[in-house]
Amino acid sequence: MENKWVKFGARGGAEALPRVLYAGAYEAVDSSYRWTGEKRDPRPRAVFQFTLGGEGRLVWRGGTLKLRPGEAFCYDLSDPTFSYFYPPECKEPWAFVYCVFTGMTGMVTQLVERRGPVFHLGEASLAVQRLRGLLNSAPPWIDDSRHFELCAGIVAELVGHAENHGNGGKGEALASRAAELLQAALDEPFRLDDLARRLEVTPEHLCRAFRARLGTTPKAYHDELRLGRVCARLLNSADTIKEIAQDAGFIDLSHFNKFFKARRGATPGEFRRHAAFRH
């Protein structure tokens, strides 16, 4: 995994809204990797970090928690009682993605007090998919609405996980299975009834479980994954926008442009030109 670090600005002027300050992907390979609260800026900011591979450790309230693949931690970086590190006994690199954001730190702190700082989200996590897409394709500026979507999406997913924790796991298992099916069928049109039928539940029950677990609807999750694939092709291929749109299931190019701009704040052409300019 390529180590990277990106700082994000905003094109809007609503400073009070939640916003992502920076995000990155990293592989820690030895015990020199260690972060403590004493090194941090005292201003309230939340960190969200998701383990992709290997293991890490989080020190909290005198105990040491394991951070395995599929698990995330989130807390207020200004809290000096937290620290995390690469465990010296491990041989495999600790690979993770992370972001630091403002505007929702109070909610994160309340959630951690109730539930603890570690959440088993799994690879299906929409927050993680959005974060990885942000690192792979986003320009250094983001619209206010995109900042809000990213920050609120993380917190909503953590809240949903906390609410479902201890309920027997049925809702969590249903949402995870639905997410897996959606990931495997990105080339197919989204049909809620067909998805619910495959999972042997009603569409209403599926949507409730999915929103509680992932903080969004199955349709929005499918759209976000499909958009991530589109962004990768815009950046890494010479295919025309029309070809990319058609392969993604959009027959009407005008509809594709509106769909893309509503979620990325720019048309596909603007997105591609800005990325080319940066490089």
The CATH number of residue 68's host domain is: 2.60.120.280
Average pLDDT over all residues of the chain:
84
Does residue 223 share a domain with residue 159?
no
Does residue 109 share a domain with residue 207?
no
Domain that holds residue 133: 4-164
Does residue 272 share a domain with residue 199?
yes
Does residue 257 share a domain with residue 137?
no
| pTM for the full predicted model | 0.67
How far, in Å, CA of 119 to CA of 79, rounded? 18
pLDDT-based confidence at 132, cuts 50/70/90?
A: confident
Rounded mean pLDDT, 152-178 = 76
Domain count, the chain: 2
pLDDT for residue 168 is more than 50? no
pLDDT-based confidence at 46, cuts 50/70/90?
A: very high
Rounded mean pLDDT, 54-81 = 90
Tokens of 135: 């690192």
Does residue 201 share a domain with residue 149?
no
According to the model, what pLDDT value does residue 93 have?
95
Does residue 213 share a domain with residue 240?
yes
Does residue 208 share a domain with residue 152?
no
CB-CB contact of 275 with 139 (8 Å)? yes
CB-CB contact of 217 with 210 (8 Å)? yes
According to the model, what pLDDT value does residue 224 have?
81
According to the model, what pLDDT value does residue 120 have?
86
Does residue 72 share a domain with residue 119?
yes
Domain boundary among 149, 164, 179: 164
Which of 101-105, 138-142, 165-169, 254-258 has the weakest average pLDDT? Answer: 165-169
Best CA proximity match to 38, nearest among 1, 70, 67, 78: 78
How far, in Å, CA of 183 to CA of 194, rounded? 15
Does residue 237 share a domain with residue 122?
no
Does residue 105 share a domain with residue 187?
no
Domain boundary among 102, 137, 164: 164
CB-CB contact of 211 with 217 (8 Å)? yes
pLDDT for residue 170 is more than 70? no
pLDDT for residue 69 is more than 90? yes
Rounded mean pLDDT, 53-69 = 90
